[in-house]
């Protein structure tokens, strides 16, 4: 018995030391104490002098090894130096452009999730959504006005272009310069405000938001603001802020899409004439495509690789990617005709040039920034990717939910609002979850960017998860609307988003690439507590310095790995019961516990994956994609809990949070299971299985009743529905297709009891509801309905007919006349009229 207790104490001790990441000397001391207790009979209560036999000597061996390794000089000579050389060959090789990408941006809460022991307080210090009075006034003033004035159908179908009055309005009110500081004539709004403004416009018109989003995202404005010379700032920023310049940013070319860094666009450093004198510049040739706003741009931000064959700048030959500002009317700059991306109306087209002389002063940041373009782009992308597309995806998920739930309440089949049928409850519940979670993540991430973070891994998560989430909501919304969603026209409020969806999926890092390469494969290097330090140490030109840094990082890594292994196993066998919960987590403690446990599992599997696959990680994209899914589930669930707390834990929202938590943990589990089941090394696969799933996989998707509760909340007008769809543009005019939904839904809900009376009369055969009869009048004559009820039902009937109606056209109206001369439908039509 005493023997068992002794073994149990040893195991418990090992767990405690490993989980607390004890240093080597503590391990040595602990093992020494255990050996001493065993060899002296202390365990059995009969102390005696230790006997010196072979077993006794062998028992001290681990103590000697551990004690030896805890002496730095011994450890380095015996272990670290040989390992340092070996690991140099195994660790993923980092190219120069990857290095730039890795150095760009900041590490934030993603590192907490990689650590396996997230500090909840760090999450809580992210400010809740806050706007200044000026930002609020802009959101409720010019932004609402812009939303009211855009006619999405006319833009994307009739005119195939953004009307001049919309351009003038956005320029006049400074929409194009939201990120430009006040000092330079811009609005100087926070990332949170920009995100909310973009979202509100997106909820009205994907085309209109694009012309506002691009100047406020990765592009000349942001690059000049961050890296421009004083002259560039002074000249361009006020002009960009007022819309006197329309910018575009040209990076992508026919041969360089996702792999933009391998562009063939080149600029040779040379001398040439500019402004009447000879200056140093670059002679550039490029071919770019898909460039948003290019057909209308006056200023082109251009990325080219600069080569200085004659070493005129004195920095060697291949200087690397460089960003220049070229006026669109500069001789040799060619802006082509328009692409038609997904039938959208925002301007988009190719840009090219051959042997165009560009003075060196036009490099953003001047001569010293030649060759630093990739870093600049990655830096801005790290912030921009967290704002632009997540804001329009969140707005999309929210407006889809608002409009679809209204339609599902209004539209009846089988005498029942379709939203109350279980089959449709499933997609509606998904839409509720999506709208809540995406908005939660949008809000938290925008607050991080507002306080100065440029979270590169989180922004990748946000880009691919929010756009995928919106795609899911769109497909669900389409299914729920049936033919009403499919037939396009003035009253179709789904089609614009449906058409534009592939654009969001593709730009700013296409989703498959972002999921399978950027989020985990590069994210692991970024957010893992020790990996990048080890790589940097291995790449250090000074071997002794590198060795010392490697020693520190490696020892930390070993302690971290042991902690992850023992920690994950401990929390799995105890079902997360001891997971760390922050203060005052009333109502959400269980989700925090499970998140802690999940984070432990993620840290363990991620660490082992990186250690075992090393340089092969980048090619194992099915594994890295699943790990990206797992990491993103953790992040989204953290944001969901934070939103719930920031909103003051409204009682009704707890069902939605529970729905999201159940489903999020289940998806996390499936991502981990997929990773482990497909892990290519058998022994490691089994170790992962035993540690992560000692009793099998037991998370389940949210139970049906939770989905039912969530849908019930959104099918009824009120505070939950409003909160779920906050910050979007909501029309209350029956003359607007989405406003008509609002007005009709309110009437339908008010008329529910009366409708039931009428339905009963129809079922009983007292009145016949067919064309050519006045069934409401009949019911009134029979005394089934009173006068007020008749009025109400007639109104509901009239409104409902309008809601379910679809547009139809004269064949001549639907001819794609915009293609006839390649552009400008309005000019063609007015020419035809003349």
List of residues contacting ligand FAD (CB under 6 A): 248-252, 257-258, 290-292, 341, 348, 503, 506-507, 510, 512-513, 516-517, 621
Distance CA 493, CA 153 (A): 9
Distance CA 758, CA 761 (A): 5
**DSSP letter (8 states) at residue 764:** T
To ligand FAD, the closest distance from the beta carbon of 364 in angstroms equals 15
To ligand FAD, the closest distance from the beta carbon of 353 in angstroms equals 15
Partners of residue 349 on adjacent β-strands: 291
Work out whether strand 334-335 and strand 318-327 pair parallel, antiparallel, or are unpaired. unpaired
To ligand FAD, the closest distance from the beta carbon of 460 in angstroms equals 12
Choose between 197 and 345: whose C-beta lies nearer to ligand FAD: 345
To ligand FAD, the closest distance from the beta carbon of 393 in angstroms equals 15
Cα angle, residue 97 at apex, residues 92 and 100 outer, rounded to 5°: 95
Choose between 447 and 516: whose C-beta lies nearer to ligand FAD: 516
**274: helix, strand or coil:** strand
CB of 606 within 8 A of CB of 80? no
Q: How many CB atoms lie within 10 A of CB 45?
A: 7
Choose between 238 and 257: whose C-beta lies nearer to ligand FAD: 257
To ligand FAD, the closest distance from the beta carbon of 98 in angstroms equals 12
To ligand FAD, the closest distance from the beta carbon of 168 in angstroms equals 22
773: left (phi over 0), alpha (psi -120 to 50) or beta: beta
CB of 180 within 8 A of CB of 225? yes
Query: Cα–Cα distances in Å, from 180 out to 232, 383, 725, 749?
Result: 13, 14, 29, 46
Distance CA 749, CA 522 (A): 51
To ligand FAD, the closest distance from the beta carbon of 618 in angstroms equals 8
Choose between 188 and 320: whose C-beta lies nearer to ligand FAD: 320
Choose between 252 and 391: whose C-beta lies nearer to ligand FAD: 252
| Those residues with Cβ within 8 angstroms of residue 591's Cβ, 6 or more apart along the chain or in another chain | 637, 641, 657, 661
156, 150, 143, 153: which is closest to 346 by C-alpha? 156
DSSP string of 131-183, one letter each residue: --HHHHHHIIIIIHHHHHH--HHIIIIIISS--HHHHHHHHHTTGGGSSS-GG
CB of 385 within 8 A of CB of 459? yes
Cα angle, residue 436 at apex, residues 431 and 439 outer, rounded to 5°: 115
Choose between 473 and 516: whose C-beta lies nearer to ligand FAD: 516
To ligand FAD, the closest distance from the beta carbon of 240 in angstroms equals 15
Choose between 341 and 707: whose C-beta lies nearer to ligand FAD: 341
| Those residues with Cβ within 8 angstroms of residue 374's Cβ, 6 or more apart along the chain or in another chain | 97, 100, 101, 261, 320, 321
To ligand FAD, the closest distance from the beta carbon of 352 in angstroms equals 13
DSSP string of 587-630, one letter each residue: TTHHHHHHHHHHHHHHHHHHHHHHHHHGGGGGG-HHHHHHHHHH
Distance CA 66, CA 658 (A): 47
* Residue 508 a catalytic site member: yes
CB of 527 within 8 A of CB of 118? no
Choose between 228 and 350: whose C-beta lies nearer to ligand FAD: 350
330, 313, 331: which is closest to 322 by C-alpha? 313
To ligand FAD, the closest distance from the beta carbon of 505 in angstroms equals 8
Work out whether strand 247-250 and strand 266-274 pair parallel, antiparallel, or are unpaired. unpaired
CB of 222 within 8 A of CB of 385? no
Distance CA 478, CA 482 (A): 6
Choose between 292 and 519: whose C-beta lies nearer to ligand FAD: 292
To ligand FAD, the closest distance from the beta carbon of 223 in angstroms equals 13
Q: Which two tokens stand for residue 196?
A: 């909310």
To ligand FAD, the closest distance from the beta carbon of 668 in angstroms equals 22
Distance CA 496, CA 727 (A): 20
Choose between 250 and 363: whose C-beta lies nearer to ligand FAD: 250
Distance CA 182, CA 189 (A): 9
Partners of residue 248 on adjacent β-strands: 300
To ligand FAD, the closest distance from the beta carbon of 337 in angstroms equals 15
Residue keyed to tokens 């609307």: 481
- Catalytic member of 225, 287, 508, 778: 508
**236: helix, strand or coil:** helix
**775: helix, strand or coil:** helix
Choose between 251 and 658: whose C-beta lies nearer to ligand FAD: 251
577, 582, 572: which is closest to 605 by C-alpha? 572
| Those residues with Cβ within 8 angstroms of residue 354's Cβ, 6 or more apart along the chain or in another chain | 285, 332
Cα angle, residue 626 at apex, residues 621 and 630 outer, rounded to 5°: 145
**CA Rg, the chain, in Å?**
31
Choose between 615 and 703: whose C-beta lies nearer to ligand FAD: 615
Choose between 300 and 780: whose C-beta lies nearer to ligand FAD: 300
Residue with CB nearest ligand FAD?
257
Distance CA 625, CA 518 (A): 9
Partners of residue 273 on adjacent β-strands: 278
Catalytic positions:
508
């Amino acid at each position: 018995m005493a023997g068992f207790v002794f073994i149990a104490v040893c195991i418990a001790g090992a767990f405690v030391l490993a989980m607390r990441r004890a240093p080597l000397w503590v391990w040595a001391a602990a093992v020494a104490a255990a050996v001493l207790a065993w060899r002296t009979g202390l365990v059995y209560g009969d102390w005696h002098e230790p006997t010196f036999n072979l077993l006794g000597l062998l028992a001290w061996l681990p103590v000697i090894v551990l004690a030896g390794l805890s002496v730095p000089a011994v450890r380095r000579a015996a272990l670290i130096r040989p390992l340092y050389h070996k690991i140099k060959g195994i660790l993923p090789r980092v190219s120069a452009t990857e290095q730039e990408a890795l150095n760009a941006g900041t590490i934030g809460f993603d590192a907490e999730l990689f650590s396996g022991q997230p500090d909840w307080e760090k999450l809580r210090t992210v400010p809740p959504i806050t706007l200044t009075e000026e930002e609020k006034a802009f959101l409720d003033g010019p932004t609402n006005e812009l939303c009211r004035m855009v006619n999405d159908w006319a833009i994307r179908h009739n005119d195939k272009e953004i009307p001049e009055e919309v351009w003038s309005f956005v320029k006049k009110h400074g929409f194009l310069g939201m990120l430009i500081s006040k000092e330079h004539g811009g609005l100087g709004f926070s990332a949170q405000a920009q995100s909310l403004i973009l979202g509100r416009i997106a909820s009205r018109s994907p085309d209109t938001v694009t012309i506002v989003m691009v100047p406020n995202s990765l592009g000349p404005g942001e690059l000049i603001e961050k890296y421009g010379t004083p002259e560039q700032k002074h000249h361009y920023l006020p002009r960009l802020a007022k819309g006197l310049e329309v910018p575009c940013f040209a990076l992508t070319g026919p041969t360089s899409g996702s792999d933009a860094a391998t562009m063939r666009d080149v600029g040779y450093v040379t001398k040439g004439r500019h402004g009447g004198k000879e200056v140093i510049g670059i002679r550039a040739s490029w071919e770019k495509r898909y460039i948003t706003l290019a057909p209308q741009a006056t200023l082109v931000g251009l990325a080219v690789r600069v080569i200085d064959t004659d070493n005129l700048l004195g920095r060697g030959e291949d200087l690397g990617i460089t960003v220049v500002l070229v006026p669109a009317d500069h001789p040799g700059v060619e802006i082509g005709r328009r692409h038609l991306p997904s039938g959208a109306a925002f301007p988009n087209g190719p840009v090219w040039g051959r042997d165009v002389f560009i003075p060196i002063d036009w490099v953003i940041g001047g001569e010293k920034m030649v060759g630093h373009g990739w870093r600049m782009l990655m830096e801005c992308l790290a912030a921009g990717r967290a704002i632009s597309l997540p804001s329009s995806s969140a707005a999309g998920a929210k407006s889809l939910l608002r409009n679809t739930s209204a339609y599902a309440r209004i539209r009846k089949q089988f005498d029942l609002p379709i939203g109350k049928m279980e089959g449709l409850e499933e997609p509606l519940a998904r839409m509720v979850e999506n709208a809540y979670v995406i908005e939660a993540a949008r809000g938290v991430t925008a607050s991080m960017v507002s306080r100065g973070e440029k979270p590169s891994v989180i922004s990748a998560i946000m880009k691919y998860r929010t756009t995928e989430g919106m795609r899911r909501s769109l497909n669900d919304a389409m299914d729920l609307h049936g033919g009403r969603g499919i037939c396009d026209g003035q009253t179709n409020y789904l089609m614009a988003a449906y058409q534009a969806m592939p654009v969001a999926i593709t730009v700013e890092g296409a989703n498959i690439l972002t999921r399978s390469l950027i989020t985990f494969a590069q994210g692991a290097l970024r957010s893992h507590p020790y990996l990048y330090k080890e790589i940097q140490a291995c790449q250090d030109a000074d071997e002794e310095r590198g060795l010392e840094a490697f020693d520190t990082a490696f020892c930390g890594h070993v302690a971290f790995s042991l902690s992850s292994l023992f920690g994950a196993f401990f929390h799995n066998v105890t079902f997360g019961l001891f997971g760390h919960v922050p203060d005052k987590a009333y109502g959400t403690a269980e989700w925090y516990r499970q998140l802690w446990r999940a984070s432990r599992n993620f840290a363990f599997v991620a660490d082992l994956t990186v250690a075992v696959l090393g340089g092969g990680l980048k090619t194992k994209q099915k594994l890295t994609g699943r790990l990206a899914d797992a990491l993103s589930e953790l992040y989204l669930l953290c944001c969901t809990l934070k939103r719930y707390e920031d909103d003051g834990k409204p009682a009704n929202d707890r069902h939605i949070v529970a729905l999201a938590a159940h489903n999020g943990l289940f998806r996390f589990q499936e991502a981990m299971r997929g990773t482990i089941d497909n892990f290519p090394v058998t022994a490691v696969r089994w170790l992962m299985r035993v540690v992560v799933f000692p009793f099998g996989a037991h998370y389940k998707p949210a139970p049906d009743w939770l989905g039912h509760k969530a849908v019930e909340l959104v099918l009824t007008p009120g505070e939950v529905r409003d909160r779920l769809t906050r910050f979007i543009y909501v029309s209350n005019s029956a003359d607007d297709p989405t406003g008509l939904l609002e007005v009709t839904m309110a009437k339908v809900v008010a008329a529910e009891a009366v409708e039931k009376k009428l339905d009963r009369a129809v079922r009983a055969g007292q009145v016949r509801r067919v064309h050519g009869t006045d069934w409401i009048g009949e019911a009134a004559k029979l005394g089934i309905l009173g006068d007020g009820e008749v009025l109400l039902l007639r109104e509901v009937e009239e409104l409902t007919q309008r809601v379910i109606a679809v547009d139809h056209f004269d064949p001549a109206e639907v001819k794609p006349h915009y293609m006839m001369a390649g552009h400008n439908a309005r000019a063609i039509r007015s020419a035809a009229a003349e």
